[in-house]
Structure 1
Amino acid sequence: MNRQEKSLKTKKKIFDTAIHLFNIKGYNLTTISEISRSAGVAKGTFYVHYSSKESIVKESYYQNLNFYVETEFNKLNHKNSSAKQKLIDFLFLELQFANKMGVEITTLAYTFNLKESLNKNNAHFSKRILSNDLHRLIYSTDVKQSSELVFNAVESLVRGIMATWCFSEGNFDILNQGLIMIEDMVNYYIV
């Protein structure tokens, strides 16, 4: 394993450990020292890869969401699937990721990333690489409205489902109810 691969492996170990501890103990009760110790790295190594606990949460909803959706989407057998079904599957994977991360991490991700908007430092759409994939999926369908309107509608729906889940403190089934909402919207906008 070369140096870069080793560095990426260490960063992933720190990330996975932090998310695990956040979900068990809570974000506020988890320290950087504890993350480092549990990951088997020096505290200085933590700071080589992350500037703070907040940076881990922010990254979870950009790089790791992008990676998760792309990886899981490619695992699905879409050989005989319609473009509409591919779109539903793609959107549902975003909800699966939120469910995997947990309601606290999802809430914090919204909080931290929306704060960047207040500071006019928002790079949301440039960091969300999967938005390009979503655009391609929408353009491959037969839409009843403009593709841009459909993109904004489905993006807003998925974000809204996640936000409602956060506001309800996880008191509804984001996967089952979310899938129903996604299917309804996709069926409304796409032939």
Structure 2
Amino acid sequence: MNREEKKRETRKRIMEAAVKLFSDQGYDSTTVAQITEKAGVGKGTFFNYFNSKEEIMCDLQGFWAVDEIMKLREHHGPYVPVIKELMMELIRRMQLNRPLANAMLTGMLSSPINLANQNDILQSVYEAAAPVIRLAQDRGELSRALSPQAIVEQIVQSFFGSMLFWCMEQGEEQLEAQMRVTMEVTLAGLAPQEEI
């Protein structure tokens, strides 16, 4: 196993340990020390890969989203309500309060490595979602004025923009309510428009 493969394997082991602990005892009750113990790595190794457990949560949500998007390829429509519900489920799974959401967003941007990791995850989301968006376009649910990639980018921008706005204590009191409004407006704007 070469060095890069070892690094990927270590990162995967840490994430798998975190998933197990988050599932068994909840996110808030899980500590970095518990994650490192379960993964069989030292704290220093953990911090070589993640700045915090919030960062792991963000990565996990990205991987979960890709898996769920891949399942939509087998869905027979309509797609837009399912896409909206997927975004809402992502928020529910995160169980974010404002300080945690702020820490997660900050962690994503805190270093070139973290940013590169997040961009890799986003690229996976784009690649998984573009065929689903094309199916929604073929059914007349989404406009053909934009490419599938551009539509996915708009949905992702709306998602993170809504989260940032909410972290700034703007909009709705609950993130789920904030995201519901954002997704309704975004997806309505991406629907085919009647010519006047």
Provide the TM-score with structure 1 as the length reference.
0.65
Which residue among 34, 44, 47 is the counterpart of 2:43? 47
1:87 and 1:134 in contact (8 A); partners too: no
2:61 and 2:90 in contact (8 A); partners too: yes
Q: Does 1:138 align with 2:133?
A: yes
Q: Which has the higher contact order (CA 8 A, sep 6+)?
A: 1
C-alpha displacement of 1:167: 1.7
**2:87 matched residue in structure 1:** 91
Q: Does 1:105 align with 2:100?
A: yes
C-alpha displacement of 1:65: 0.6
Alpha carbons of structure 1 residues 104 and 85: separation in structure 2 relative to 1, 3 Å: same
Give the alignment's Cα RMSD to 1 decimal. Answer: 4.0
Structure 1 stretch displaced more, 10-19 or 123-132: 10-19
C-alpha displacement of 1:155: 1.3
**1:167 matched residue in structure 2:** 168
**2:115 matched residue in structure 1:** 122
**2:177 matched residue in structure 1:** 176
Q: How many positions carry a matched residue from both structures? A: 172
2:151 and 2:190 in contact (8 A); partners too: yes
- The amino acid across from 1:146 in the alignment is L
**1:157 matched residue in structure 2:** 158
Note the residue ranges of structure 1 that are not aligned, 5 or more in a row: 1-6, 25-29
1:92 and 1:175 in contact (8 A); partners too: yes
SS across alignment from 1:45 = coil
Which residue among 62, 66, 69 is the counterpart of 2:62? 66
2:21 and 2:35 in contact (8 A); partners too: yes
SS across alignment from 2:136 = coil
Once residues 77 and 185 of structure 2 are traced to their aligned partners in structure 1, the CA distance between those partners, rounded to angstroms, is: 18
Identity of aligned residues (%): 12
- The amino acid across from 1:179 in the alignment is R
Which residue among 51, 56, 81 is the counterpart of 2:53? 56
Q: Provide, for residues 122-158 of structure 1, a one-character-per-residue CA deviation record: whole Å limited to 9, x for no partner.
A: 3132123323223232222222421243223211110
SS across alignment from 2:153 = helix
Which runs of structure 2 are paired with 1:30-45 in the superposition (5 Å)? 35-36=32-33, 41=37, 45=41
SS across alignment from 2:37 = coil
Alpha carbons of structure 1 residues 170 and 71: separation in structure 2 relative to 1, 3 Å: farther
Once residues 121 and 42 of structure 1 are traced to their aligned partners in structure 2, the CA distance between those partners, rounded to angstroms, is: 23
